[in-house]
Structure 1
């Protein structure tokens, strides 16, 4: 089983908005694959929103449309930062594993 510093931060939060973590030795297990797929969708959504923002900023978009875009970009940025944090922690634990060997 993984040690506490090797817990994977999952790309979603619990009902109270608290982070969820996964402890497993199987990076190819169901929950790991589910998390990988959700991360991929989240990053794809962020990319699409960035493209939309680029297009909207080149036009005179309505304030309500800009507000909705800003709201969606905020959520996408939150998700993207969670993915980056999770992946960074996993990289750190791998580099620590290599140094111990």
Structure 2
């Protein structure tokens, strides 16, 4: 069973049961994970820039933190799905 990098409409985890890593849904999940990881890298760079800017206001810090929290959730879900983390 593979934990997919998205949830259902009810917020519950979605799983894929297949032995074919080249199935359409497996490839879609791989693409979504790659996009989430790339986004997390960009969010990290942006958050670092905000944190190193002494002129950054509360709004900038809150926005950077909100995006970082979203990205961390995505990255943790990917790690758990790949068996590299626990929940």
The normalised TM-score by structure 2 is 0.91
In structure 1, the residue matched to 2:82 is 87
Residue ranges of structure 1 left out of the alignment (5+ in a row): 1-6, 90-101
CA-atom RMSD in angstroms: 1.0
Q: Map of 1:1-101 to 2, 5 A cutoff?
A: 7-59=1-53, 60-88=55-83
The structural deviation recorded for 1:62 is: 1.4
Report the Cα distance in structure 2 between the residues aligned to 1:71 and 1:54, rounded to whole angstroms. 13
Distance 1:43 1:66 in 2: 21
Task: Compare CA radii of gyration and give the structure with the larger one.
Answer: 1
How many aligned positions are there?
Answer: 83
Provide the secondary structure at the position in 2 that maps to 1:21: strand
1:88 Cα shift? 1.1
- 2-side partners of 1:43 and 1:85: how far apart? 14
TM-score (ref. length: structure 1): 0.79
Give, in whole Å, the separation in 2 of the partners of 1:17 and 1:72: 19
Say which SS state the counterpart of residue 88 (structure 1) adopts: coil
Q: Which runs of 4+ in 1 moved over 2 A?
A: none
What's the offset of the Cα at 1:73? Answer: 0.8
